[in-house]
Structure 1
Amino acid sequence: MNITDIATPDFVAVDAGKRLGKIRAIFERENPRGIVVTEDGDYTGVIGEKQLVRSRMEDDTKASVVMKSAPRIDRHEDVREAARMLVEGDVKVAPVFEGEQLYGVVSTDDILHAVLDNLDAITVGDILTTDVVSVGEQAHVGQVINKLREHGVSRLPVVDEDTGSLIGIVTTHDLVEFVVRDDSRQGRGDRRGDLDRMLDLPVYDLMSDPVVTATPAETVDAVVERMFDNDVSGLVVTPEASDQRVHGIVTKTDVLRALTFTEEEHMDVQITNVRLLETLTREEVVESITAVVDKYQKMQVLHAHVRFHEHKEKLRGTPLMRCQIRLRTNRGQVGGSGEGYGAEHAFHVALDKLERNVLEVKGVNADEKQRGQLLRKLGEL
Structure 2
Amino acid sequence: MDITDIATPDFVEVDVDKRLGKIRAIFERENPRGIVVTEEGDYAGVIGEKQLVRSRMEDDTKASVVMKSAPRVDRHEDVRETARMLVEGDVKVAPVFEGEKLYGVVASDAILEAVIDSLDAISVEDILTEDVVSVGEKSHVGGAINKLREHGISRLPVVDEDSGKLTGIVTTHDLVEFVVRDDSRQGRGDRRGDLDRMLDLPVYDLMSSPVVTATPAETVDTAVQRMFDNDISGLVVTPDENDERVRGIVTKTDVLRALTFTEEESMDVQITNVSLLETLSREEVVESITSVVDKYQQMQVLHAHVRFHQHKEKLRGTPLIQCQIRLRTSHGQIAGSGEGYGSEHAFHVALDKLERNVLELKGLNADEKYRGQLIRKLGEL
**What RMSD over aligned residues (CA atoms) do the two structures have, in Å?**
1.0
- Number of equivalent positions: 381
Q: In structure 2, what is the equivalent of residue 305 of structure 1?
A: 305
Q: In structure 2, what is the equivalent of residue 161 of structure 1?
A: 161
State the one-letter code of the partner of 2:67: M
Q: Could you tell me how far 1:297 is from its partner in structure 2?
A: 4.4
- Measured at CA, do residues 378 and 241 of structure 1 come closer, stay the same or move farther in structure 2, by a change above 3 Å? farther
Does the 8 Å CA contact 1:34/1:47 hold for their aligned counterparts? yes
Q: In structure 2, what is the equivalent of residue 363 of structure 1?
A: 363
**Any gaps of 5 or more consecutive residues in structure 1?**
none
**Any gaps of 5 or more consecutive residues in structure 2?**
none
Q: Could you tell me how far 1:361 is from its partner in structure 2?
A: 1.6
How far apart, CA to CA, are the structure 1 residues paired with 2:311 and 2:80?
Answer: 30
Deviations 1:161-193 (A, max 9, x none): 112111111111111111111111111221111
Asked if residue 143 in structure 1 is aligned to residue 131 in structure 2, the reply is no
Q: In structure 1, what is the equivalent of residue 247 of structure 2?
A: 247
Q: Could you tell me how far 1:85 is from its partner in structure 2?
A: 0.4
Secondary structure at the counterpart of residue 119 of structure 1: helix
Asked if residue 121 in structure 1 is aligned to residue 121 in structure 2, the reply is yes
Deviations 1:264-307 (A, max 9, x none): 11110001111110010111111111111222443111100001
Q: In structure 2, what is the equivalent of residue 80 of structure 1?
A: 80
Q: Describe how 1:286-301 pairs up with structure 2 within 5 A.
A: 286-301=286-301
Q: Describe how 1:331-370 pairs up with structure 2 within 5 A.
A: 331-370=331-370
How far apart, CA to CA, are the structure 2 residues paired with 1:299 and 1:241?
Answer: 32
Q: In structure 1, what is the equivalent of residue 56 of structure 2?
A: 56
How far apart, CA to CA, are the structure 1 residues paired with 2:147 and 2:241?
Answer: 27
How far apart, CA to CA, are the structure 1 residues paired with 2:183 and 2:152?
Answer: 26
Q: In structure 1, what is the equivalent of residue 270 of structure 2?
A: 270
Q: In structure 1, what is the equivalent of residue 219 of structure 2?
A: 219
Does the 8 Å CA contact 1:306/1:324 hold for their aligned counterparts? yes
Q: Could you tell me how far 1:378 is from its partner in structure 2?
A: 4.0
Asked if residue 97 in structure 1 is aligned to residue 97 in structure 2, the reply is yes
Q: In structure 2, what is the equivalent of residue 185 of structure 1?
A: 185
Q: Could you tell me how far 1:336 is from its partner in structure 2?
A: 0.9
- Measured at CA, do residues 88 and 161 of structure 1 come closer, stay the same or move farther in structure 2, by a change above 3 Å? same
Q: In structure 2, what is the equivalent of residue 328 of structure 1?
A: 328
Secondary structure at the counterpart of residue 339 of structure 2: strand
Q: In structure 2, what is the equivalent of residue 17 of structure 1?
A: 17
Q: In structure 2, what is the equivalent of residue 280 of structure 1?
A: 280
How far apart, CA to CA, are the structure 2 residues paired with 1:369 and 1:256?
Answer: 37
State the one-letter code of the partner of 1:293: V
Deviations 1:113-145 (A, max 9, x none): 000110000000111111111111111111111
Does the 8 Å CA contact 1:87/1:257 hold for their aligned counterparts? yes
Q: Percent of pairs identical after alignment? A: 86
State the one-letter code of the partner of 2:128: L
Secondary structure at the counterpart of residue 120 of structure 1: helix
Deviations 1:240-267 (A, max 9, x none): 1111111111100010011110111111
Does the 8 Å CA contact 1:297/1:362 hold for their aligned counterparts? no
How far apart, CA to CA, are the structure 2 residues paired with 1:210 and 1:376?
Answer: 51
Q: Could you tell me how far 1:357 is from its partner in structure 2?
A: 1.4
How far apart, CA to CA, are the structure 1 residues paired with 2:270 and 2:199?
Answer: 36
Secondary structure at the counterpart of residue 295 of structure 2: helix
How far apart, CA to CA, are the structure 2 residues paired with 1:341 and 1:362?
Answer: 31
How far apart, CA to CA, are the structure 2 residues paired with 1:364 and 1:212?
Answer: 37
How far apart, CA to CA, are the structure 2 residues paired with 1:100 and 1:206?
Answer: 47
Asked if residue 109 in structure 1 is aligned to residue 114 in structure 2, the reply is no
Per the normalisation by structure 2, the TM-score is 0.98
Per the normalisation by structure 1, the TM-score is 0.98
